[in-house]
Amino acid sequence: MNKKILFIGHYAGLTGAPIILLRLLKWMNENTKLELSVLLKQDGPLKAAYEKIAPVAVYPQITSQKSTTSKSRFKLLTSLLTAKDKGKSKIIEQYPINSIDLIFANTITNGHILSSLSYLNCPVICRVAELNYWIHKSGKNNFELIKNHVSHFIAVSNAVKQNLTVNHGIPEKKIDVVHGFIAPTINFNTGKIRRSLNIPRDGIIVGGCGAEVWRKGKDLFIQLAISIFKKSKNTPIYFIWLGGEQSGEDFYQLQHDIKQAKLSDKMFLIPESPNPYDYFADFDIFAMVSREDPYPVVNLELAALGKPIICFEDSGGSPEFVENDSGFIVPYLDIDAFSEKVILLAKDKNLREKLGKSAREKVYKRHSILVTGPKLLEIINRFL
Q: By the 8 A CB rule, do 183 and 215 touch?
A: no
How many independent structural domains does the chain possess? 2
Structure pTM? 0.90
Same domain, 315 and 252: yes
Buried b (16+ CB within 10 A) or exposed e, 154-175: bbbbebbbebbbeeeebeeeeb
Q: Is residue 236 part of a domain?
A: yes
Q: How many residues in the chain?
A: 384
Are residues 170 and 138 located together in one domain of the fold? yes
Q: What distance in Å separates the CA atoms of residue 218 and residue 239, rounded to the nearest whole number?
A: 11
Strand partners, 379: none
Quick check: is 186 in a domain?
no
Q: Are residues 83 and 196 in the same domain?
A: no
Q: Are residues 124 and 169 in the same domain?
A: yes
CATH at residue 171: 3.40.50.2000
Q: Are residues 60 and 196 in the same domain?
A: no
Do 27 and 135 belong together in one domain?
yes
Same domain, 88 and 116: yes
174: alpha, beta or left? (left if phi > 0; alpha if psi -120 to 50) = alpha
| 177/112 same-domain check | yes
Digitized pLDDT (tens) for each residue of the chain, 384 residues in all: 799 999 999 999 888 899 999 999 999 999 999 999 999 999 999 999 999 999 999 998 543 334 445 555 555 444 444 545 556 677 888 899 999 999 999 999 999 999 999 999 999 999 999 999 999 999 999 999 999 999 999 999 999 999 999 999 999 999 999 999 999 888 888 899 999 999 999 999 999 999 999 999 999 999 999 999 999 888 899 999 999 888 999 999 999 999 999 999 999 999 988 889 999 999 999 999 999 999 999 999 999 999 999 999 999 999 999 999 999 999 999 999 999 999 999 999 999 999 999 999 999 999 999 999 999 999 999 999
Q: How far apart are CA 39 and CA 34, in angstroms?
A: 16
Residue 163 contacts residue 130 (beta carbons within 8 Å) = no
The whole domain housing 42 covers 4-181+368-383
